[in-house]
Structure 1
Amino acid sequence: MRGEAMKPRIPHNCWVLACDGGRALIMRNAGDSELLNLIVIESVANPGAPARMLGSDREGRVFQSVGGARSKVEQTDLHRQAEERFVANIAERVSGLVRNEGIQRLVLAAPPRVLGQLRTELDPHARSVISAELGKDLVNFEVADIEKYLTD
C-alpha cells in the first residue's frame, strides 16, 4: 500500500461520520472490523437554497467620495457560508451524540477543508473519541460502497 493512506480500522460499535458541505451520514458499525455492517443512524441534507438563489448576480460598487473613481466590492460567498453553517450544525449534533450515546470511537470521513472545520467545531470530548480521519468525500456513496471502500 505504498503511496496510499492507511484505511482506518472500524471495530464493532465504532461510529462513522461521512460529511461534506451539504450532506452528512452518521453511521454505526454493527459488524466487526473485517466485515463491516454500517447502520445509518441519521442522514442529513443541507436544506439551504442553491448558490444561484442565495445572492445577487453582480458585485456591488463603491463610489469614492472625491473624484469619479469606482471600485468593485467582492460578493460574499453565500454558498460557502451555508456549507460552513451546515458543518457547524453537524459538529454540534455529533458532539451531542457522543455525550448522550456514550460513543467510544468515531471515524471522520470528509474532504480536507470540512475535516479541518469539524476538528475545530466538535467539542473537546467528541474530539477525544476520534480514532481516525479520512480526507475523502464518501457521503455520496451507497452504504455498501462505503463499507467496501473502508475494508479494501
Structure 2
Amino acid sequence: MTPLRLHHDAWIVVCDAAKALFLRNAGDVRLPDLRVIERMDAADHRRTSEEGSDRPGLLQNRSAPTSAIEQTDWHRQEKDAFAAQVAGRLDLLHRQDRGSPIILVAPPRILGALRRALAPAASASVAGEIARDLTKHPVHEIEHLLTAE
C-alpha cells in the first residue's frame, strides 16, 4: 500500500458493510492526527431464511424450457443500502465544509457502492481510495497504516 498525504482537515472515511468511521486529520501532512468525528453502525442483519421467500421462482418461456430465477441476495442489498447511507452522510459533511479532500478506505465491493452513491461534488473531492478493511483497527493503527512508507 502506498503512503497517503493526509492534508490538514482531510476527511478519512473507513467503513465496511456494518460500521463506518468518519475521521478528520487535526494534524498536518508530516504529523497526521486522526480524530473520530462520527461513527455509523448498520442495523443488525437477519438470517437469510428470515429475509425472503421460501425458494427462487420459475419463469415460463414461450419458445424455450422453463428458466429458474436467481434468488435475491438480501444481504447484498443491505450492504449497498448502508454504503448509500454512508455516502449520504459524507455528502452532507462535504457540503458543510467544501474544499477538504476525502480519502475512502473500504473493502472493494463497499468501495464500489460508495463511489456509485456519492454526489458529484463530493466525488470530485476524493483524493484517494484504499480497497482494504481497516474498521477493526484502532485509530492510531489506521493512521500508521495509511501513512507508513
Count of matched residue pairs: 146
35, 38, 50: which is aligned to 1:39? 35
| DSSP 3-state at the match of 2:29 | coil
Q: Given the alignment of the two structures, is residue 96 of structure 1 paired with residue 92 of structure 2, yes or no?
A: yes
State, as a whole percentage, how many aligned pairs show the same letter: 36
Letter in 1 for 2:105: A
| DSSP 3-state at the match of 2:39 | strand
16, 23, 33: which is aligned to 1:20? 16
Compute the TM-score of the two structures, normalised by the length of structure 1: 0.83
Q: Given the alignment of the two structures, is residue 136 of structure 1 paired with residue 132 of structure 2, yes or no?
A: yes
Structure-2 separation of matches of 1:117 and 1:75: 21
Report the CA distance shift for 1:70/1:55 in structure 2 as closer, same or farther (over 3 A). farther
Contact preservation (8 Å) 1:25, 1:139: yes
Structure 1's unaligned 5+ residue stretches are none
Contact preservation (8 Å) 1:61, 1:72: yes
| DSSP 3-state at the match of 2:6 | coil
Give runs of aligned pairs for residues 1-152 of structure 1, distance below 5 A: 5-52=1-48, 54-56=50-52, 58-62=54-58, 73-152=69-148
Deviation track 1:78-109 (CA, whole Å, cap 9, x = no partner) reads: 11100100101111110111001235211111
Contact preservation (8 Å) 1:24, 1:44: yes
Report the CA distance shift for 1:53/1:23 in structure 2 as closer, same or farther (over 3 A). farther
Structure 2's unaligned 5+ residue stretches are none
